[in-house]
Every structure is written in structure tokens, then in C-alpha cells.
Amino acid sequence: MILSEVELSQRWVQAYGMPRGPAKFEALDYVLRHADAAGLTQHALSWRMMALTEFHHGGDPARVFLAFSQCLAAIDRDPSLQYSEHSLLWTFKWVVWALPQFPEIPLERTFAVLDDMQARYLRAGHSLHAFYQHRWLVSHHIGLSDAEEWYVRLVTAERDSLSDCRHCVPSSQVRHLATMGRDEEAIEVGAPFTSGGCTEQPQWMLSELLVPYLRTGRWEQAADAHRVGYAHMRGDRHHLDNIAQHVFFCGLSGNEVRGLELVDRHRGWLDAPSSPYAAMEFASAAALVLRRVGEADDAARMARLARDIAARFDARNGNTHQSTRIEARMAAEPLAERVALTAVGGYRRGMPKAAARLLDLVGELTAQGDPETAASTLFAAARHLHAAGQADDAIETAEEAVRALDRHALTEEALRCRALLWELYLDWTNDRERADALLDELLAAPSLPEGVPSHADMCQRAGRYVEAAAHHRQAGDRLGELRALLCALPSDDAATLAHAEAVAAGDWAPTELLAALDSFAAEALYRAGDYVGAVARTEVGLRREPGDEFSARHRLRMTAAQALVRLGRPAEAEPLARAETDDYSVAGPCVLALVLRRLGRDAEAEAVMDLYGLDEHDLYLE
């Protein structure tokens, strides 16, 4: 079945708006396949260029390889296609970064891509700074002796707009220097760039500095780098190789128990790692930690996985570089007896005095043989840290408090502590998987103690709106149920819409909520091709004088304008589209320009397009 340009555009907008992950990638692939089949070459290229960013940051290099090669082939076949040359050249870096991480990809292919990258950069008049960085990366991965030569070229070349950010380039430098044992140089280069910079930072830089800090006895800096760096990426599969550095660090710093927590939390990611290289890094670090805590069978399994992948790399690379490196990682001995990583373990710098006193009291109570009171005091310290805005310390302390409270069967306090930890995960980390797991534990409790939000409130806050609606219904709260369903309704779920219509029956609800329901119902009618019905429902909603809640006024006007255009009534659509030209998006101006074209007022349409930076591809109906 060949889908039309309009249908594909609609599906693309829907797919691109999905949360990043496998379901979104499948939806994007579907649109791209059908765009190819329909011969929509320009759309396919533009959409693939957009998808590349999603695939890369979503930890799916294999999709990056395919989409990028298809983009290059399309551009080389038809130079008249419109695209951002800068974005295309930038993506070369993502591809070269990922190619060596797959042992089944021959080195000849990687070097061919590097040659193409160099040639295209030179033709476009760019510096080779970024090329040198990625040429060094390949040599570093393979263990070639010319890595130092490419490193020198990198640090002496002129930066330009294709260079990685000013934090990411030093991260590569720190990796090279640390590998060479030049720890003081590594720290000197990296220390000024440990506070952020881009989506990859500061977690990348902090991960690279862990071992140099340890080897030079900088315990506090090492603890900081672990706590801050790991918190930035604990929920992101894209960073599995960096998380492996933190596991390895725990094995070297006398923090094997902490390392075991990280292994248990992330070992499931090995089922679908971002690359074999990331899996090898994690498995080898996990093997070290598991060996040191006496988990011999698990350590052996992880070691086998790491060795198997390293052997595949060695076969591809023609040397034993990766196997030698992996064996050294798994056999490494601690560099310190124990570096205090958490507030509980003795890390106190910059902590509120009240929390520090409570944590000291935890130690005293434990020594006195009163572990139950110690567990409660630990929970109190976590609350103090949360109130002070010290999220990292609060999370570490609350995690330990939950374990202690569970161990001593302090059930009510354990539930309160889980609620605190859930809130911290939700507000301060991107570890949505862990937050959802904690919420499920709270929802499964027979009852919740005083001070813990209701089931409905927690589901609402977590974005689980249909569940929230069910809990509101059980509590006899019709208004709460309707609000929760409206929050769920930007989806295409017909059942949720029907449920909301049933709850709102009788016009008992506030006017602004009924108008919001009208806006969602009108959109559903529009998507179903019932343009007359969509217009009629928007008229009902607009007569209710909708407020700004749920963007009801915007939704009603835009649906009405687009439906009127479909019905061949552009003159009626014009005032609705004009009313949306001050909106935060360009949706209103796009429809207005299209309306003006349909009315034969091309000069006015061009003026709108110029004012809002639109082009011909923007003028379509969703």
C-alpha cells in the first residue's frame, strides 16, 4: 500500500513526537520505508536527517549507520536535494565513533568512511580538527602505534564549527593521556571542563577522570566525579560504556558493594546493549566487582562474555589489544582501601550541619547496637538533604535507608522512604525505569501511611494518567477523573476519549474542561476524515469560551481551520489561523500561509512565510 504525502506527513509528526526508544524508532522506520516506496525523495532525506539525532542519542548506532548511508547515497545521486550540509558533515563523527564498536564491521569500511569524511570536510572548506579527533579514536580503539601522532594533530589543529564542543574534545584528550599513564596531564587538561557543556557532559569528562583521580590520590575529586557523573546518566542506555567506567572505579576504590549495586541495576541492559564494545566494557568491570565480593559464578559468566567479545575484536583488528586490556581490567587490584563515596560512608563536604549530625548519629546508634533507630535516623537525614536541595546525597542516603528499614521490618517508614526516593528519582534523575518500579511498589502496598501522596496523585505526577483516573474514580472524585483523562488525551486512544465523554456527560464539569474535551474530540473526528463533524465540535467548544488549560483554544482553532480548508472553505479558516499567529509554534502561520494560497493571495502568503521562516514543505495539513 502506497501512502499519500499528507498521510506520511501526519504519521511522521506523530512518530517524531513519541518518547525516544525502540517503539519510536520502529514508527520512524515505518514512515521512512513508505516515503521511499512513494518516491518522496526530498521528504525521506529531510526526515532521515532528523531521525539520525534520535537514533544516535537513543543508543541505536546500527540505525545510524543505515540512515546515514542512505542520506549520503541520496545526496550523491541527486545534488539538487535540499539538506543541511553542516548537519550531514557533523553526523560523520557519530558514525566514525560507533563503527569500531562493532567487531563484525570490517576495518576497511571504517577507514573508507574516514577517507570520505576527510574528503568532504576539505571540499566544504573545513578544518580537519574533528577528523583528526576521530582518526585518533579509531587508532586508540585498535591499539595502533600511530594514536599518538593523530593525538598531536588533534591538539594542534584549528577548531571550527564542526569541532566537538569545548568540553568533549578535552574528554578525548583525557582518555588518551590516562591510557598512556600521564595522569597529571590528564587532570590538568580535564579539570576545567567538569561542569557541563552539552548533552554528553559533564558525565563523559567525569567518567574519564575517575581513574586519574584515583591513581594520584585525589579521593574527594574522585568521589565527586563518581557521584555527579553517574547521577547524570544512570537511566540512559546510551552511556553504558561510561557507566562501566564507574563500575570499574568502584572495584578500584574499595567500594565493591556500591559496584555490585550498579551491576545489579544495569546488567539487564546487556540484553540489548548500544554496542558490543559497551557490553564488553560493562561485563569486564562487572567481573572485577563480582570477583571481589565473592560472587564467583556471576564473575565467571561476566568474564566469559567480556572475553568472547574481546576475541571478536581481536580477530577483526588483527592483534590482541582488546583481550590484553580486558584481562588487565578484570584482574586489577584496588588502588585505595576505601574511598568514601556517599554521605553515609563519610563524605560530608558542603553538607548542611543538621544532616551531617544525623549521619554521625547513625554511626553511633549502629555501634551501640540499635540498628532500628539508626535506620529511622538515616531516613531523617535523607529528608534533610532533600529539603536542602542536595539531590545526589539525598538519593544515596534514601537508597541505603530503604534497605535498612526493610531489613528491620519498619514497614511504614520504609514506604515513606520509598515515596521520598520515588520523588527524588522523578525530579532529579532521568531514571524513569527505576522511578516507575518504585511507584509500582507503592501502589501495591495494602495501604499507604500518612504523609505519602494518594495513589491518584502519584500516578498523575508520574504521567500515568489513565491509572490516575481509575484511582480518582475509586475515590468518587469525578472532577479528578476527568482531569486525568484529559491529560491522557493527546494520544489517539479512542477508548480514553470515549471514557472522558462518558464521565463528562450531563455538562456538570467546569466550562474550560468541557472545552478541552471538545478540542480532543474534534481532533479525533478530523483524524477520522469527518471534517464536517470536526468543525461542528470546534464550534461547540469555542462557544464555551475556553481557557488556556490543555491548550483548548489553540486546539479548537487549529482543528477548525484545517478542517475548513479540507472542506474548501478557506475564507472561513483565515480568521482562525490568524488568531494563532502569535502562538508559541509555527502551526498557525503554516495554516495561514496555506489558506492565503488557496484564496489566491500569494504575495500575502509569501510575506507570512518570510516572517516566520517557512518554506514550501511546511505548507501541508496535519
Which domains can be identified in the chain, with CATH numbers? 353-452 (1.25.40), 510-618 (1.25.40.10)
Count, residues in the chain: 622
Angle (CA) 38-44-47 rounded to 5° is: 140
Per-block average pLDDT, block size 10, for the chain (622 residues)? 84 86 90 93 94 87 92 93 91 93 95 96 95 96 94 95 89 95 96 83 93 94 88 82 96 88 89 93 97 93 98 97 97 87 56 82 82 92 90 85 90 95 86 86 92 93 92 94 91 86 91 93 92 96 85 91 94 92 74 92 91 78 68
CA distances, 524 to each of 104, 387, 561, 587 (Å): 47, 44, 15, 18
Return the pLDDT at 186: 96
Burial 14-43 (b: 16+ CB within 10 A, else e): ebeeeebeeebbebbbebbebbeebebebb
The DSSP annotation for 500-569 comes to HHHHHTTS-S-HHHHHHHHHHHHHHHHHTT-HHHHHHHHHHHHHT---SGGGHHHHHHHHHHHHHHHTT-
Instruction: Determine the Cα angle at 587 with ends 584 and 589, to 5°.
Output: 95
Q: Residues 173, 151: contact at Cβ < 8 Å? A: yes
Neighbours of 510 (CB within 10 A): 14
CA 249 to chain centre: 24
User: Please, where are the H alpha helices in 197-239?
Assistant: 203-215, 219-233
For 406, counting Cβ atoms within 10 Å of its Cβ (0-12 exposed, 13-18 middle, 19+ buried), the class is: middle
Residue recorded with cell 531516613 = 379
pLDDT of 349: 58
**Closest to 156 (Cα-Cα) out of 169, 144, 142, 143:** 169
Map residue 321 onto helix, strand or coil. Answer: helix
Q: Which of 208, 205, 202, 289 is closest to 250 using CA atoms?
A: 289
pLDDT at 585: 67
**Per-residue pLDDT at 342:** 58
pLDDT for position 182: 96
Q: What angle do CA 93, 267, 233 make, to 5 degrees?
A: 50
Distance, CA of 242 to CA of 249 (rounded, Å) = 11
- Burial class of 427 by CB neighbour count within 10 A (0 to 12, 13 to 18, 19+): exposed
Spatial separation of the C-alpha atoms in residues 427 and 228, rounded to whole Å: 15
Looking at residue 208, what is its pLDDT?
A: 96
Give me the pLDDT at residue 501, please. 94
Report the sign of the C-alpha dihedral through residues 317, 323, 325, 329, in that order: positive
The pTM (predicted TM-score) of the whole model is 0.66
Query: How confident is the model at residue 532, as a pLDDT?
Result: 96
Q: What is the pLDDT of residue 130?
A: 95
- Cβ within 8 Å of residue 177, ≥6 positions away: 183, 185, 186, 189, 212
Q: Name the residue among 64, 59, 11, 63 with its Cα closest to residue 35.
A: 11
Q: At what angle do helices 203-215 and 183-190 cross, to 10 degrees?
A: 150
pLDDT value, residue 619: 76
> What does the alpha-carbon distance between residue 370 and residue 368 come to, in Å, rounded to a whole number?
6
Nearest to 389 by CA among 340, 423, 431: 423
DSSP secondary structure, 10-50, as one string: HHHHHHHTSPSSHHHHHHHHHHHHHHHHTT-HHHHHHHHHH
